[in-house]
Each structure stands twice: as C-alpha cells, then as structure tokens.
Chain A
Amino acid sequence: MAFEFPKSLDDLPVSKVKWVGKPVNRVEDPQLVTGKTEFIDNVTLPGMLHCAILHSPHAHARIKSIDMSRAAALPGVVTTLTGEDAERWTRPMYTTPQGWGGYVLATDRVRFVGEPVAAVAATSRYIAEDALELIDVEYEPIDPIVDAFAAAQPDSPKVFEDHDDNIMYQRIFTWGEVEEAFQKADHVYKESFRWNRVGANPLETFGIISEWDIVEDSLTCRGSFQTPSFMAMGRAATFRLPSNKVRFIAQPHGGSFGGKGGGRGTDITLMLSRKAGGRPVKWIEDRMEYLSSGGSQAWDRHYDVSIAVKDDGTVTALRVKLLDDMGATAEGFGATGAVKPMASFTGCYAIPAAEYDLTLVATNKLPVSPYRGMGPPPHNFVLEQMMDIAARDLDLDPAEIRRRNFIPADQFPYIIASGNEYDSGEYEAALDKVLEMAGYEDLRREQEEARAEGRLVGIGVVSTIEPGVFDWNAYTVIGTAGIGIPEGVTVAIDTMGKITARVGFALEGQGQYTVITQLLAEYFGTELEDVRVVHVDNLSAPPNFGPGGSRLGVAITGAVLGAAQRLTEKLTKVAAKMFEVQPEDIELLDGMLRVKKVPESQLSVRNVAAIMLNRSDMLPPDVDPSPQATFAWTAPDRVEPDEQGRVKSYLTAANACHLVMVEIDPGTGKVEILKYYIADDCGTRLNPANVEGMIQGALAQGVGAALLEEYVYDDDGQLLTASFMDYLLPTIHEVPFPEKAALVTPSPFTPLGAKGAGESAIHTTPAAIMCAINDALLPLGVRAKEVPASPNRLWKLIQGASDQ
C-alpha cells in the first residue's frame, strides 16, 4: 500500500496544530541537566575490566617483534592482545574504497602515528596504562610518506606494498559540455586552494563496554555508537558470526558529528573480553587518543579550480580537481567526504556543465573520518572564492554575481549538472533577506570608510546548499552497497493510553526524541508527557541507521507518521466495529476516533487501545490485540547512478545565505568577526529551536574550521596537535551570535515538508568568512587561499603585499 504522508502541518489529524512546529522544550533535557543521563563511561558492569591501547609512535615502521610478557605479568593485568589475535579472529577491516586497510591491531607494519599495536585489559585504567609501558615492541622505522603530492607520484614509496601505488581512487567525472564551455567562455578564472585537516571533536570521545559470551559465541556491546545497527552488522562480518548474535546497545552520547569513530576500539575490546573469559571490557578513548588515532580528522585537501564565465557574470562551467589525502587506510568511511560534494557540486547556481577530477591518495597519517557536512564545506569554500574572484574581475558586487547565477525559484525540482535533484528553494529571497537585515549598502559604505582609514575590513556574502537525507546511492561510485536506508520506529499505545516510541538510535544532542514526541502527541491528540521515546538494541529495534547525512529528522518524521497511520488503521477498524459502521466512515481528529457523519459518536484513542488490549470479545476478526505499529521510512525514487556517477541521492536541498563582516589586524593577522547575518531555509521547521541550535552550533564549528582548527603533521608524520592546547576549538569569545532569519520553502518530497537541517551552517560559514577575509585583503592585492586563515598565515600574506 502506498503511503500518503501529510505534506504540511495542515494535513495532520487535528483541528489546530499544538506541538509540531513549535519550539517546545526538549524531552531529553531534564535528565541531562541533572547529570543522570547514562553516558557510556557512567556504566559499570560486574567483573568489568579496563582496556588501554598501545599506539604506534612511528608514522611508518616494520614491527620486528612484540613482547607482551612483562605487561602480562603486571599484577592486575588480566589479558593482553596483539595483531596476532586480530589475524586469527578477524577479517581485515572493511574499507571504502575496498582493499585499503589492515587489521584492527597492526601486524607486520604500522602506517600512522597512533595506530593501535597492542592492548591490555586490567582491573583499572591506571594499571592498564602502566602495563602499556611494559610492552616491548621493536620497530624498524621506514621513511614516512607524508606529502600528498609526493605520495601521488607513480614512483613514490608505498603505504601498502600490495598495491601498485598510493592512489586509492582516481576518476574524472564529466557532466555536460565542459570543454566547450571553457573554450567559449569570455573569462576563465583559475585558482588553487588548500584546506587543512579539521575534525569532529565531540566533547565526549568514543567509549564502549564489550562482552563476548564464550559459551554461545555471542557479543554484547554498549557504547557511544552513532549508528549501532550498522556497527553491529560490521562486527558480524569482522568476526564471521551470525548477525543475530551481535547485540549493540547505544548509550546516549556527548555529540558525534560523524566523527565518533570507534571501530577499532570495538573489535579490540571484544577480543580482550573473549580472552578474558567473557568479562566485560571497557575502553574510554582519552582525548589524546581521540585526536591522534580516533575519528577526529577529516578533509585534507588540495584543490585546483577553474570556472568559465560570460561577460555578464553567468558561470557556464566549473572544473574542480581535488587531491584528497586520506591518510593511511580507507577505514571509517572518510572517503565519502570526497564524493558527497557531487550532491551539491554547483552550489546554488545553475551551472550547466562541470567536471570533478578526483584523486584519493594514501599517506602515513591518521585515516580520515566523516565530519559534519561530510565533505562539501571545503568544496563550498573553493566554489565561493571563485564566484568572488569572477565578481571582482567583472566589477560586479559579490551579491549580484550570485543573484545572476542562482537557480530560479520557478525551476524546482531542479537537477544539477552532477545529477542530484534539488527539491525546492528560494535562493534570491534568502539573499535579499540577508542583505536587508544587514543593511548591505550601509555596510559597504562603512567598509569604504574603514578602508579609507587603512583598515582591512571585508564583507562576505555566500549562499550554499545543504544536501539533506542521504542515501547510499550517493556513494555507489566508491563502492558502498545498496539503495535506501530504512529508519524505523515502533509506536505502541498501552492500556492507560500512554504512547511509547521505540527507536534504534540513542541521544546525541539534536533533539530527535523531542521531535518524535511532538509528532506523536500531535497525531494522537495527547499532551507531550503522554509520549515517551525509548531506544532499544539493534536486535529489538525496527530497521534503523541513526543520525548521519542530515537525514534523521526527515527520516524519523516519515517513520513516525507511517507508524501512526498504520496504528490508526487498526484503531479505526476497532472503532468501526464499536459504532457498527465501516472503517471508511471513521476519522481520527484531535485524538478521537469518530464517525464522520455523526461526530458525537466518538471514542478516544486511549479507549480504543484499551479495548484492543482488554476486550478481545469486541475485536474485529482481522485485528490482533496489539495497538502497536512499526514503520520504516526511506527516501522514495532512489536508483543507481549513471555511468558518470549522476544520481538523485540526497532528497532535500536546504539553503542558507550568510553575510559576514570581518576586520583583520594588519599587525598580527588576527581576524575579528564584526557582524554576522544568516537567512536559513530548511523547509518546514518541526521544532524551530532545534533548528536554531543546529545553525548556531554548526556556525561555531565553521568558525573553528575557518580560523582556528587544524591538525598539523610534521615531515616525519608526527602529529603536532595531539592535545586541546594545540587543536583549538572555538570558545564563547570566538563565536559570533548572528542575527538570524528563517525562510520556509517546504520540500515537496518529504513528510510535512521538512528538509535535512542537521549539518547546517558548517556548509556556509567557512566559505563566508574566507570571502570576507579576501574582501578585506582586496586593496592589498593578495588572496588567502588556505584554511584555516590563521593569524600567522594572514600576517605573512599582508607582509608579502607590503614587501612588494
């Protein structure tokens, strides 16, 4: 049966919408503010041991020998683990692209500083760390391969001996008549850019407690899993176990942003538990481990970009050549970040032709992981710089060149050159809104005055797309399997009329439980207190994936509405029998099931559910005594990509326009954000306060990426930013509080018209800040091409200008 999802809030079965679309307080919060939420490190199990992992101090070395005997002999140490165990018990790690990884513990060779080499389980973490110092490893260092360009040379030394070179993936995607467009262009602009490694850094690192039941060979893992079912499936494959013997319980966790990591820690603790006779083994990744060997790093990119432009500023083609430094392996799905830009390759613009020349290269650094935004933020940064470069040369205002290239509002749904379909948008309206809020003309005047005083003040105006609701088909080109990502919920009403929703993902911070609560309270006409959301393990949950790719809000809305509708069908049959009418004659409105023509004939949802559970004598024959329903939602109409990788992948396209004004201190190179304005359009806002939170939080991460955050490796492949003293996260002092406006262009494709909104401003902020910086530098005739724009880098640029 095809489902008709309510397209807007007006389609919900209520006379007046009470909860959905309102900034209601979050159901998650009372537990959180009282410190009662059960984060993984709060859990202690009987007999539990503590794991510590020995990490490689070398970027590249052969392991000649490992001697665990002194460590094993330390009182309190229960068992130890090395690559030999991993070889015996596991398959090599699953990687995308395939074949670029080893075992979870190094066997013959280490390939990055931080790579796990051995592990111990002891009665306390303190003792476990003592034991690490007693492990004797003999390394024979090999010259590390650190520079991405050198690594990409055919004659480079190799990260993996069994490969011909270090190229994990190389392909040129061509969409439309690119060559022709460049030939016919009035102007061609070219530039190179560098985006340095940044990453997620949730405040809680990864943690896990693993148990290997050695009698029935089954696994139970509790941990801070972003995608528990997915991880469980991976363990079944890794350990060659029946998948229903792998139980994953996701604990609430302190953020993830795609970079929670944890694959290796999971397998290591499982094997330790196995060796310890099944005792639970806990591993809490510490911050230095997270920074040097966890899911912490993403996007290490070298770009060459060119655009073809007509005299009037119309961009006719875009060429992007990307060399993306993946680090040592392709574990952890970091490579997806290089592919996702295809979902929004040409940004907000109607650029008919484009080319993506993509090379993924292996080096002796930490393998990259996903991070909020999943890859487009650097892409947006380079695209938006090119727009400004063209604008300057053509003497167009940066806002104007964008306006001239926007996909017009009447052309949606719109298929971009790289194949994805944008559902809806009003890009010009968002731009106008921002210009109006900012008082753009006055700001430009202010800037002129500042320039006249010799101050370096600049304005950036940038519009971007946030592709929302990812599908696996976006990543088929690098070897992921499948189409569709079911996200399910079971909705149950009990005898007291209370509603419980069971989902497969745990709290992470985005407030999805609140959205589920709002939806169900609305649908069945109850108070918010009448609804409770619980998460269950992967074996109990309906099909699910969890947060990722800005999809959960939309997906879970579809699931909840689907389940609610299924449940209503059951309730309707029961009510029809009670009123002796046909089910078609019954409707649900404001929590009552009533006879359409005789509204006084009505029964509350609660009563009908109670009847179902307690009065089998009153049930119609085709209804079981179970006021519950399950529904799993996935995006409709997804197919495989064509031969150029073109595919409708991400279902929604949210849009944001940011305007930022900065000033650079010429003496120190330090950037101050003077003003910031945002107009954001992510369709229907199911809980506007949630959306605002996503925007502001992602903005902070964008500020970090643009100005502060950077993983630095030296020539020996040593990480120089392995603590929070050196990897600089923005604080309250560095993050601006912009004036924000909401535009609402509903998605025609999603339930209630909501769009993916979880990644949010990180798509826009780095690009906007960099545009503003380059605007400020304009009078000096220099250009900032490297992110982050650290004070040292900007000072050097300014210096270079005055030296000329």
Chain B
Amino acid sequence: MAAKRDVRLTVNGVAYEASVEPRMTLVDMLRGELGLTGTHVGCEHGVCGACTVLMDGRAVRSCIMLAVQADGAEFMTVEGLASEAGELHPIQQAFIEERGLQCGFCTPGFMMTIHELLQETPDPTEEEIKDALGGAICRCTGYESILKSVRSAAKKLQALG
C-alpha cells in the first residue's frame, strides 16, 4: 500500500487536514475523513452529478478527483450553503418552495451546480439552466421543479442584490 499523504484544504471556510492514501477519491475523503456527509455518491464514475462540489468556485465531480489533488484548494459543499445560524440559502429555500426534490439524494449536487451557475449568470435563460444541469441525474422529480427552483433562486438572489 502506498504511503499516506497529508492534505490541507479549506471546506466551507474551515481549514482541514487529513492523511489519505493517494488512491482515495475526494468524495471519500470529504465524507469519510472529514465527516461532511452531505455530498452524496450515486455512480462513482462521473455521470450522475450527485457528488458535485465547488472547488475554487468551480463545480466539479468529487468522485472522479483524488483527495490528494485537493491540497491547497478551497471547497464549498452543501453544508456551507446555510448560514451558521441555520438560515437557509436562497437556493435551498427555492428548492423547498418549488419542490425541487423528492428523495433529496441528488439535491446537494444540483444545488452546488446551480450555485456556480447563478454566480456567473444571475438571470439564466431556460437553455442556460438546462445546459448547466444537463450532466446531473435526478431519478425522482422529472426536473421540472428543479428548473423552477433555479428560476426562483435566481430571483431571490437578485432581490438580495
């Protein structure tokens, strides 16, 4: 077995240090070593999007990155969306109000993807939304309510300025 390596990273503003085997995937480290279990695993081969997190602001699939590659990077996961006081992020509120989820297993990945989208495109068109979400699988909702959630979240965020 290859020697473990130290990884230092920031997740949701908190600095972490972990010692991992090089072969460990990023999502296994986030969930297993750091206890951040809000990010889910649906396929482990990069197709479903459940494991999507933000790395230095970019939506990436944490099942097809190695944990060791995270060294020095800044991450945001679903746990970082709500405020410390528990106030939900507008994207979370929108998902609740528009029924953007059923089982909720895909939801963290979708929300992180949407977070990236709305940072860059505050008022996305339907095509832009579909383009951003096209790589994420939801087996429950049939996507319509997720699309509505994005629109609603965009409005909420714009209202906040």
In the complex, what distance in Å separates the CA atom of A287 from the CA atom of B105? 14
Chain B residues, Cβ within 8 Å of A202: 103, 105, 139
Residue among B40, B79, B135, B145 making CB contact with A254, cutoff 8 Å: B40
In the complex, what distance in Å separates the CA atom of A725 from the CA atom of B64? 14
Q: Is the CB of A700 within 8 A of B143?
A: yes
Q: Is the CB of A729 within 8 A of B103?
A: no
B77 at interface by CB-CB < 8 Å: yes
Evaluate whether A32 and B82 lie within 8 angstroms (CB atoms) in the complex, with A41-B37, A203-B42, A257-B139 already known: no
Q: Determine chain B's interface SS by DSSP, over half rule.
A: loop
Q: Is the CB of B141 within 8 A of A204?
A: no
Evaluate whether A203 and B138 lie within 8 angstroms (CB atoms) in the complex, with A700-B143, A725-B45 already known: yes
Contact with A along B82-123 (1 / 0, CB 8 A): 100000100010011101011111111001000000000000
Closest B residue to A724 by beta carbon equals B47
Contact with A along B121-144 (1 / 0, CB 8 A): 000000001100111111111111
Q: Is the CB of A509 within 8 A of B103?
A: yes
Closest A residue to B78 by beta carbon equals A35
In the complex, what distance in Å separates the CA atom of A185 from the CA atom of B5? 78
Segment at the interface with B among A21-29, A172-180, A656-664, A794-802: A21-29
Residue among A254, A257, A733 making CB contact with B105, cutoff 8 Å: A254
| B-contacting residues, A549-604, CB 8 Å | none
In the complex, what distance in Å separates the CA atom of A287 from the CA atom of B21? 23
Chain A residues, Cβ within 8 Å of B133: 731-732
Segment at the interface with B among A3-11, A211-219, A444-452, A691-699: A691-699
Q: Is the CB of A41 within 8 A of B39?
A: no
In the complex, what distance in Å separates the CA atom of A37 from the CA atom of B108? 11
Contact with A along B28-44 (1 / 0, CB 8 A): 00010000111111111
Q: Is the CB of A29 within 8 A of B101?
A: yes
Evaluate whether A35 and B37 lie within 8 angstroms (CB atoms) in the complex, with A255-B103, A693-B102, A697-B142 already known: yes
Q: Is the CB of B134 within 8 A of A733?
A: yes
Query: How many residue pairs at the A-B interface have CB separations less than 8 Å?
Result: 169
Q: Smallest Cβ distance from B152 to chain A, in angstroms?
A: 13
Contact with A along B12-37 (1 / 0, CB 8 A): 00000000010110000001000011
B54 at interface by CB-CB < 8 Å: no
Q: Is the CB of B37 within 8 A of A696?
A: no
Q: Is the CB of B141 within 8 A of A693?
A: yes
Contact with B along A702-731 (1 / 0, CB 8 A): 000000000000000000000111000101
A286 at interface by CB-CB < 8 Å: yes
- Interface range on chain B: under 10, 10 to 19, 20 to 34, or 35 or more? 35 or more
Chain B residues, Cβ within 8 Å of A26: 96, 99
Chain A residues, Cβ within 8 Å of B130: 732-733
B9 at interface by CB-CB < 8 Å: no
A412 at interface by CB-CB < 8 Å: no
Evaluate whether A25 and B96 lie within 8 angstroms (CB atoms) in the complex, with A126-B21, A732-B146 already known: yes
Q: Is the CB of B38 within 8 A of A34?
A: yes
Chain B residues, Cβ within 8 Å of A639: none
Closest B residue to A695 by beta carbon equals B142
Residue among A30, A35, A724 making CB contact with B43, cutoff 8 Å: A724
A523 at interface by CB-CB < 8 Å: no
B11 at interface by CB-CB < 8 Å: no
Residue among A35, A204, A288 making CB contact with B77, cutoff 8 Å: A35
Q: Is the CB of B79 within 8 A of A204?
A: no
Closest A residue to B109 by beta carbon equals A203
A481 at interface by CB-CB < 8 Å: no
Q: Smallest Cβ distance from B1 to chain A, in angstroms?
A: 8
In the complex, what distance in Å separates the CA atom of A695 from the CA atom of B50? 23
Q: Is the CB of B107 within 8 A of A33?
A: yes
B55 at interface by CB-CB < 8 Å: no
In the complex, what distance in Å separates the CA atom of A201 from the CA atom of B140? 10
In the complex, what distance in Å separates the CA atom of A204 from the CA atom of B106? 9
In the complex, what distance in Å separates the CA atom of A735 from the CA atom of B133? 13
B81 at interface by CB-CB < 8 Å: yes
A42 at interface by CB-CB < 8 Å: yes
Evaluate whether A737 and B139 lie within 8 angstroms (CB atoms) in the complex, with A286-B44, A697-B102, A725-B45 already known: no
| B-contacting residues, A470-524, CB 8 Å | 507-511
Closest A residue to B105 by beta carbon equals A254
Closest B residue to A704 by beta carbon equals B139
Q: Is the CB of A723 within 8 A of B142?
A: no
In the complex, what distance in Å separates the CA atom of A467 from the CA atom of B108? 34
Q: Is the CB of B103 within 8 A of A507?
A: yes
A39 at interface by CB-CB < 8 Å: yes
B68 at interface by CB-CB < 8 Å: no
Evaluate whether A697 and B104 lie within 8 angstroms (CB atoms) in the complex, with A33-B92, A204-B42, A287-B44 already known: no
Chain A residues, Cβ within 8 Å of B104: 28-29, 32-33, 37, 254, 507, 509
> Which of B21, B47, B108, B135 gathers most chain A CB within 10 Å?
B47
Q: Is the CB of A25 within 8 A of B88?
A: no
Closest A residue to B93 by beta carbon equals A33
B65 at interface by CB-CB < 8 Å: no
Q: Smallest Cβ distance from A498 to chain B, in angstroms?
A: 20
Q: Smallest Cβ distance from B29 to chain A, in angstroms?
A: 12
A36 at interface by CB-CB < 8 Å: yes
Q: Is the CB of A732 within 8 A of B143?
A: yes
Chain B residues, Cβ within 8 Å of A438: none
Chain A residues, Cβ within 8 Å of B42: 203-205, 254, 287
Chain A residues, Cβ within 8 Å of B107: 32-33
Q: Smallest Cβ distance from B36 to chain A, in angstroms?
A: 8
Chain B residues, Cβ within 8 Å of A35: 36-39, 77-79, 108
11 more A-B residue pairs beyond the given contacts A203-B42, A205-B42, A288-B45, with a C-beta to C-beta distance below 8 A: A29-B104, A32-B107, A35-B77, A41-B40, A203-B105, A253-B103, A509-B102, A510-B102, A697-B139, A729-B137, A731-B133
Would you mind naming 7 contact pairs between A and B with Cβ atoms under 8 Å apart? A25-B96, A26-B99, A35-B36, A253-B105, A700-B142, A723-B47, A733-B130
Residue positions of B touching A, CB distance < 8 A: 21, 23-24, 31, 36-45, 47-48, 50, 77-79, 81-82, 88, 92, 95-97, 99, 101-108, 111, 129-130, 133-147
